[in-house]
Amino acid sequence: MERGNQSNQSTQHRNIVTIATSITITEPPVLQNIHQIGRKFFAPPRKALPAVWIRSGTSKGLFIHQRDLPESIKLWEPILVSAMGSAGGNAKQIDGDPDVDVEYTFIQVAPDQARIDMSGNCRNIASGVGPFALDEGIVRAVPGQTEIDIRILNINTGQSLVETSRVAPDGSFQEEGDFRIPGVQGSSSPIKVAFLNPEGSMTGRMFPSGATQENLTVDSPSVGKFDLRVSLVDAANPFVLVDASSISTTGYLSWPDPNDKIFVSVVEDIRRAGAVRFGLATDVETAGQVRGTPKIAFLSPTAEDDREAEIQVLAFTLGKPHASLQLTGALCVGAAASIHGTVAWDMTGRRGNDRGTKHGMPLNG
């Protein structure tokens, strides 16, 4: 790989590389939420694409200037699939927003197949947009400024957020710091992210089905038909929040177990049924074509003597257990826990009435 052009900024602040891609296609696929490349490939000359690899919270990803990609979004898929090393719409013209400093589009590249998903957003990756914008000169701090608020628009959902980042003396992102988060080695400076009006990121409503909690009927090819208790919440990303204790199928009383292959397949069945109930798909077959949204998480109360947390979360992404918890998932669960009647509210309320001032956001009075 070739090195991209750099200013005199220290490489300890960032690592800019040119990603060599080796995939071209004669006819670009039509870009939709998720699609698979099924065309023949020919041996093209290798091409270079400047990019920045940034660790953002518990996620990491490539940050690329849109100007370095083809103008047509239809041509992005083979480039991004190759850059991420995954196995074998129409174009947009973004004109900008006077209230926004940076616009970004999040693209999920499947780790095990040549697919991309542009249906949702990732807030862990979002936390790297501010540092990238500073380092690349998209946003410039004034001399002597040590902290900056950067207004960001996510193109996938049309939602805005404000990111507060530390500024180094040379105006780049101040990477060094003593802030730590679980699941990531080392420390760095903190990045604060404020989500502006995260309600209805894809559906336009916090509760698209009209209910804060409901019984969802799932017809699973693996275990048959069953009901379970869920809250369908759309805050930052749409999530199917499942009361784990409500899952009851013959022979599987110990669920949820992320190591059980049948359970993992049932998770997808639940997610698809939730997608239909969300209004994001007309049927479960169509819902299976989009793996990124809605997402799904299983909620359980913690032990009564646990003073550190009130709720346990087992989240899934792209059909696999998430090693931690998506930032959008944390926001969605937090929002649900503050609204009376949701599955999350019920679990955090089991500790008694002494939590009254801790939660309880009024909703429509």
- Calculate mean pLDDT across residues 294-304: 89
Cα 129 from Cα 132, distance rounded (Å): 5
Tokens at residue 346, please? 């019920």
User: Does 361 score more than 90 pLDDT?
Assistant: no
358 vs 150: which has the higher pLDDT: 150
Stretch(es) of the chain classified as CATH 3.10.310.10 = 16-196, 214-355
User: Does 34 score more than 80 pLDDT?
Assistant: no
Provide CB contacts within 8 A for 145, sequence distance 6+: 167, 171
Q: ∠97-100-101 over CA atoms, to 5°?
A: 120
279 vs 196: which has the higher pLDDT: 279
Residue 13 CA, distance from chain mean position? 25
CA neighbor of 157 nearest in space, from 127, 107, 202? 202
- Calculate mean pLDDT across residues 196-224: 91
Q: How many residues does the chain have?
A: 365
| CATH 3.10.310.10, applies to 16-196 | yes
| Alpha helices in 57-145, H assignment, sequence order | 76-84, 123-126, 129-135
pTM here? 0.61
One-letter amino acid for residue 270 of the chain: I
Bridge-based pairing state of the strands 224-235 and 214-220: antiparallel
User: Does 235 score more than 70 pLDDT?
Assistant: yes
267 vs 41: which has the higher pLDDT: 267
pLDDT at 196: 84
State the chain's mean pLDDT as an integer: 76
Cα 314 from Cα 300, distance rounded (Å): 9
314 contacts 297 by C-beta, under 8 angstroms: yes
Model pLDDT for residues 122-137, shown as the tens digit of each residue: 777 888 999 999 999 9
Model pLDDT for residues 62-120, shown as the tens digit of each residue: 889 988 888 888 888 888 877 776 544 322 323 446 688 999 888 887 666 677 777 77
For the ranges 176-185, 225-234, 289-298, the lowest mean pLDDT is seen at 176-185
273 vs 307: which has the higher pLDDT: 273
For the ranges 8-22, 120-134, 312-326, 337-351, the lowest mean pLDDT is seen at 8-22
Cα 269 from Cα 63, distance rounded (Å): 33
Tokens 């969802």 label which residue?
A: 216
pLDDT at 98: 65
What does the CA dihedral 29, 35, 39, 44 come to, rounded to 10 degrees?
A: 70
CATH placement of domain 214-355:
3.10.310.10
- Calculate mean pLDDT across residues 196-215: 91
